[in-house]
């Protein structure tokens, strides 16, 4: 337990010191929620702006933390041989992975609290929130995106991995129904978005917050498939050194 605590503290300290990562995991989600909740220029599928945006922005926050932040940090740690060095301490590989997983969940809970708190300030109605569905969405989304992030981090060089994670983040943000409804996308892109992990997570998250899911169970199945396949891919593709 002592080793795990030490490593979690270290992971969080490194994250807190990294300005780019903080911008990604907190700055961008909070900015998007604040701006589009108060500047009514996007279609919101008949809901108030803040009520429409909140689930999608939480999905975005999960993607930022579990995929981009974890993926970039792990990719650089791999390049700098930090993982190799830590693997030769009593911490071991198992505890290192667990420490990273717990750190991601700690950050996600902090993101969730901050985003929900801000949404409340902007007048969001949170009476219909289903905590069970929210936890399922959080867990499946984290598994799916961490699997994708670690698959890239395990194979690409540090700088290439950085570019790839950021490009994928932008792409999944645009086609994920996060800041505007999926049905507003052109038909071919709509189908791509339905099977994209960001689209599925945003839709499942909407179901958890306000029962306004567009594709319901099919989004949950898509997200489950991503969670399983991305983790299997990470196990297969990840290289420690």
Partner 1 sequence: MKAGLTVSQLVIKYDDVTAVDHVSFSAQPGRVTVILGPNGAGKTSTIEACEGFIAPSSGSIQVLGLDPQLQRKQLNQRMGIMLQDGGIYPSSRVGELVQQYCALYGKRVDSRSLIARVGLQSVASSTYRRLSGGEKQRLSLALALAAQPEIIFLDEPTSGIDVNGRDLVRLIIRELRDSGCCVIVATHELDEAERIADDVLIFHRGNVVASGTLNQLRSGREEIRFRSTSHIDLHSLSTTLGLPVEQTRQHEFTIAGTSDARVIVQLTDWAKANNVDVGDIGAGSQRLDDVFRRLTAESAS
Number of residues that bind partner 1 (CB under 8 A): 24
Q: Which stretch binds partner 1 (CB under 8 A): 7-15, 42-50, 123-131, 170-178?
A: 7-15
Whole-number minimum distance, CB 81 to partner 1, in Å? 4
Q: Is 76 a binder of partner 1 (CB under 8 A)?
A: yes
CB closer to partner 1, 7 vs 198: 7
Q: Does 39 bind partner 1 (CB under 8 A)?
A: no
Structure tokens at 161: 């991995």
Give whichever of 90 and 188 is closer to partner 1, judged by the CB atom.
90
Residue bearing tokens 């990562």? 21
Name the residue nearer to partner 1 (CB basis): 11 or 203.
11
Burial letters 220-236, b for 16+ CB under 10 A, else e? bebbbebbeebbebbee
Residues 6+ apart with CB under 8 A from 121: none
Q: What tokens appear for 195 in the block?
A: 């099977």
Percentage helix, strand, coil, to 5, in the chain?
80, 0, 20
Binding mask 83-112 for partner 1 (x = CB under 8 A): -xxxxxxxxx--------------------
Q: Judged by CB under 8 A, does residue 157 bind partner 1?
A: no
State the CB neighbour count (10 A cutoff) for residue 43.
Answer: 12
The only residue of 12, 14, 30, 45 in contact with partner 1, by rule CB under 8 A: 14
196: Cβ contacts below 8 Å, ≥ 6 apart: 172, 175, 176
Largest Cα–Cα distance of the chain, in whole Å? 56
Minimum distance from residue 89 beta carbon to partner 1 (Å): 5
Residues that bind partner 1 (CB under 8 A): 2-3, 6-7, 10, 13-14, 17-18, 76-77, 80-82, 84-92, 241
């Amino acid at each position: 337990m002592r080793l795990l605590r030490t490593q979690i503290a270290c992971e969080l300290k490194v994250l807190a010191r990294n300005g780019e990562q903080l911008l990604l995991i907190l700055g961008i989600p909070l900015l998007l929620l604040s701006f589009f909740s108060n500047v009514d220029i996007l279609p919101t599928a008949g809901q108030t702006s803040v009520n429409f945006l909140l689930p999608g922005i939480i999905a975005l926050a999960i993607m930022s933390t579990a995929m981009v932040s974890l993926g970039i940090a792990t990719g650089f740690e791999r390049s700098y041989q930090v993982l190799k060095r830590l693997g030769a301490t009593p911490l071991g590989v198992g505890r290192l992975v667990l420490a990273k997983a717990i750190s991601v969940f700690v950050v996600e809970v902090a993101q969730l609290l901050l985003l929900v708190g801000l949404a409340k300030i902007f007048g969001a109605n949170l009476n219909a929130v289903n905590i069970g569905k929210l936890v399922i969405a959080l867990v499946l989304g984290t598994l799916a995106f961490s699997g994708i992030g670690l698959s890239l981090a395990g194979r690409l060089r540090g700088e290439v991995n950085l570019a790839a994670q950021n490009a994928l983040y932008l792409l999944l943000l645009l086609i994920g129904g996060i800041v505007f409804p999926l049905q507003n996308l052109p038909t071919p892109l709509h189908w791509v978005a339905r099977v994209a992990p960001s689209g599925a997570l945003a839709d499942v998250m909407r179901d958890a917050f306000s029962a306004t899911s567009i594709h319901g169970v099919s989004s949950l199945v898509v997200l489950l498939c991503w969670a399983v396949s991305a983790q299997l891919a990470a196990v297969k593709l990840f290289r420690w050194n």
